[in-house]
């Protein structure tokens, strides 16, 4: 009897092994997303989570201070949001200008900001200095990283408000891996510009759907970041080690992956975009092809935008990353920053990523944005 059972199980063994092999092949060949996980979207995601949390808390504190002080939206202007690098950390430095009606309001706002920042604990530091016109500048740091500059001034005149609606463009980067959410962005009631990665599992599908819907397509060109290879830009990337012909070959291959692309913006690239020689190779080729360049500004030392302007290539640069922090309140703050910059400069460019949180906030805001601003494809903002 025992011998018969042993023979029975031996007879079943080949079939069982065949099922295991079939299951393995199915799992690893039928679903590309299992073999190729989505990449890190931007280099700024590689910053320490504790630093990101402290910067988020500073943002919240500043907004609470401005709200409680009754400062009008039109008198708050985001002058600059730039990516900074220090000791392996990457963060957004924010500069804000606030106009108060008189010196007493300026002083009261300083007291409120001081109170709210002090409540965040000893790792948040700040200092004040006076300006020649009796204004006040607040410099804020988190763990010795300089994160915010707030300029408080008083003037009986309001900040200029333009008679025509300001223009806003929103780019959704890093498309190519999750088709469902990409299609959801395409279906929004906003003229988004879609920046698609080459060589990704669903690049062809997303390009096809975007083309059918009349969305603007951009090649999201991977470039070498700082800390490579621990931070990997993915397939189709340009590296500083490449010679000119290799750069042009890879660029041509990447552009072929995104037929109908109107322009290019960089994916990562904090090292590559600082190199004038290598960037000039790329930008001259884009000019030959009548494309434009959007500098994603993943480093404050990027030469991309200025070089493009020098050679007469239509170009623009990112104003705000919308979703480096995926907390809904944080995304709303970044979106308000984008709109504030557009309100006071006439135009602004935001970059978001294929996150469900970003999608939800844009759905919530889309009607209000379109009521106050001209939402345009980013190609309308290059010059």
- Are both 171 and 150 inside the same structural domain? no
Residue that is last in its domain, among 106, 123, 154 = 154
DSSP state of 38: P
> Do both 146 and 219 map to the same domain?
no
Q: Which residue has the tokens 């920046």?
A: 195
CA dist 76 and 150 (Å) reads: 10
Whether pTM > 0.85 for this model: the answer is no
Q: How far apart are CA 274 and CA 233, in angstroms?
A: 16
Residues 293 and 220 in one domain: yes
Residues 332 and 376 occupy one common structural domain: yes
Of 21-35, 68-82, 87-101, 202-216, give the lowest mean pLDDT range.
21-35
Q: Which helix (H) or strand (E) holds 221?
A: strand 216-223
Per the model's pLDDT, the better-predicted residue between 68 and 312 turns out to be: 312
| 62 vs 199: CA distance, rounded Å | 42
The CATH code of the domain that includes 332 is 3.20.20.370
238/350 same-domain check: yes
Residue 159 lies in a domain: no
What local confidence, expressed as pLDDT, does residue 42 receive? Answer: 65
176, 105: one domain: no
Q: Which domain holds residue 81?
A: 45-154
How much is the mean pLDDT over the chain? 88
Q: Which of 102, 129, 154 lies at the terminal end of a domain, its last residue?
A: 154
- Does some domain include residue 13? no
Query: Does residue 258 lie in a domain region?
Result: yes
112 in any annotated domain: yes
Give the pLDDT confidence score for residue 311 in this predicted structure.
Answer: 97
Count how many domains the chain has. 2
Task: Assess contact for 60 and 329: CB atoms under 8 A.
Answer: yes
pLDDT exceeds 50 at position 171: yes
Give the burial string for 337-364 (b: 16+ CB within 10 Å, else e): bbbbbbbbeebbbbbbbbbebbbebbee
């Amino acid at each position: 009897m025992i011998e018969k059972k042993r023979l029975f199980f031996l007879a079943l063994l080949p079939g069982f092994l065949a099922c295991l092999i079939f299951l393995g092949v199915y799992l690893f060949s039928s679903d590309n997303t299992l073999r190729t996980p989505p990449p890190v979207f931007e280099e700024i995601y590689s910053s320490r989570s504790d630093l990101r949390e402290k910067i988020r808390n500073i943002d919240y504190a500043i907004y609470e201070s401005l709200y409680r002080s009754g400062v009008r939206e039109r008198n708050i202007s985001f002058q600059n949001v730039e990516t900074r690098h220090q000791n392996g950390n990457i963060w957004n430095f924010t500069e804000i200008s606030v106009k108060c009606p008189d010196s007493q309001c300026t002083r009261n706002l300083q007291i409120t900001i001081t109170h709210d920042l002090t409540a965040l604990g000893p790792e948040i530091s700040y200092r004040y200095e006076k300006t020649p016109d009796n204004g006040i500048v607040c410099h804020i740091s988190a763990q010795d990283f300089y994160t915010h500059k707030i300029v408080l001034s008083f003037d009986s005149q309001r900040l200029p408000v333009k008679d025509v609606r300001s223009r806003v463009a929103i780019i959704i980067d890093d498309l190519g891996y999750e088709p469902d959410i990409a299609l959801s962005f395409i279906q929004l009631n906003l003229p988004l510009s879609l920046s698609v990665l080459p060589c990704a599992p669903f690049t062809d599908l997303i390009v096809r759907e975007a083309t059918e819907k009349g969305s603007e397509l951009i090649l999201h060109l991977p470039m070498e970041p700082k800390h490579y290879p621990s931070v990997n830009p993915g397939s189709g990337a340009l590296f500083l080690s490449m010679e000119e012909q290799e750069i042009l070959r890879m660029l041509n291959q990447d552009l072929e992956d995104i037929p109908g692309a109107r322009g290019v913006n960089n994916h990562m690239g904090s090292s590559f975009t600082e190199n004038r020689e290598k960037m000039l190779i790329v930008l001259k080729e884009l000019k030959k092809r009548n494309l434009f360049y959007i500098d994603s500004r993943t480093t404050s030392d990027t030469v991309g935008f200025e070089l493009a302007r020098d050679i007469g290539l239509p170009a623009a640069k990112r104003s705000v990353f919308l979703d480096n922090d995926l907390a809904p309140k944080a995304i709303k703050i970044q979106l308000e920053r984008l709109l504030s910059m557009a309100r006071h400069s006439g135009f602004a460019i935001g970059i978001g990523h294929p996150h469900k949180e970003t999608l939800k906030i844009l759905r919530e805001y889309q009607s209000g944005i379109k009521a106050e601003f001209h939402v345009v494809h980013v190609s309308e903002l290059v010059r």
